[in-house]
Homo-oligomer: A and B are copies of this chain.
Amino acid sequence: MDLHEKASSSKPGGTTRPVQVGSVSIGGGPFHVIAGPCAVESPGLLLETARAVRDSGASLLRGGIFKLRTDPSSFQGMGRAGLEELKAMKGELGLPLVTEVTDPRHLEAMLEVVDMLQVGSRNMFNYPLLSEVGKTGRPVLLKRGFSARVEEWLLAAEYIRKEGNENIVLCERGIRTFETATRNTLDLASVAWIKAREPYPVLVDPSHGTGLRELVPPMALAAAAAGADGLLVEVHPRPGEALSDGRQSLDPAEFARLMDRLSALLAALGRSPLGKS
């Protein structure tokens, strides 16, 4: 039995197993959109964005506190200090918070603030981190490694399940190929492939997947049409001033227009409507 068979055979296929994050149930029912800035530059910025995306129908909030940047001289996120500040204002956000964990030693402090732990693309093969995240029992958003085959992605999920944590949502965010017109190559067929075989809810991140703002709406709609259970979208009040990934962030007005089109598409395909928090 090769890895591929093992990845597939050990799981009950067919229906999607929903994952509960705060008041939100991801997978199998309403379509959920997680929105927010790439990095939390300040608590004020996060609050401003939270209000805007909630008004347009987002049901979870994203925002990076510890950032992994290729260039060590780039902005690395607010770090532990940011975590403290967010703790104080958590009640005001009004949406469950999803943020990336990059180091097992941050987990204890994060659990007080974060509703869903994101494992980023660079860490999908970081098995000690996956195990620690598994031990917390907290819902996990497991992004695909940008060079991971689907079978490896599913085996990474096994590292979390092995610790007794079944609250796993997958997120396709583009793979690395020879193409340079886009930042990554968004592999929507992998979403359809998994939805046909595995019980995991699957989201799509068209922001990292393309790296270009103008491609985010069409690829968000395409993701929904391909069968994704939701989206992860970068929204920044003023993308031109963003400290990271401004080129791929929507502003609140663009985000609102996208949500309207998504609603129409979901209805046409006979799917559940956009979820609420």
Which residues of A are at the interface with B, using a C-beta cutoff of 8 A?
A: 3-4, 6, 68-73, 102-105, 122-123, 125-128, 145-147, 149-152, 155, 158-159, 162, 175-182, 185-193, 195-196, 209-210, 212, 214-215, 218-219, 221-227, 261, 264-265, 267-269
Kindly list chain B residues whose C-beta atoms are within 8 Å of the C-beta of A214: 192, 196
Known contacts being A177-B185, A181-B149, A227-B218, is A261 close to B265, with CB within 8 Å? no
Task: Give every chain B residue within 8 A of A195 (Cβ-Cβ).
Answer: 218
Contacts of A179 in B (CB 8 A): 149-150, 175, 187, 190
Copies of the protein in its oligomer:
4
In this complex, which of A104, A149, A189 has the most chain B Cβ atoms within 10 angstroms of its Cβ? A189
- 7 further contact pairs, Cβ within 8 A, besides A103-B104, A146-B147: A4-B181, A71-B155, A72-B127, A102-B128, A189-B215, A192-B218, A221-B225
> Looking across the interface, which residue of chain B has its beta carbon closest to that of A223?
B222
Q: List 25 A-B contacts (CB under 8 A).
A: A70-B152, A71-B158, A103-B128, A123-B125, A126-B126, A149-B179, A150-B181, A175-B177, A177-B178, A182-B193, A186-B188, A189-B209, A189-B219, A192-B214, A192-B218, A192-B219, A195-B218, A196-B215, A218-B226, A219-B226, A222-B223, A261-B269, A264-B268, A264-B269, A265-B268
Chain B residues within an 8 Å CB radius of A219: 188-189, 192, 226
The one of B3, B105, B145, B187 that contacts A105, using a Cβ cutoff of 8 Å: B105
Which one of B69, B158, B185, B265 contacts A175 once the chains associate, using CB atoms below 8 Å? B185
Q: Report the Cα distance A177→B227, complex, angstroms.
A: 22
- Output the residue of A69, A103, A267 with the most chain B CB within 10 A: A103
Give the docked Cα–Cα distance between A152 and B68 (Å): 13
Cα–Cα, bound, A110→B269 (Å): 40
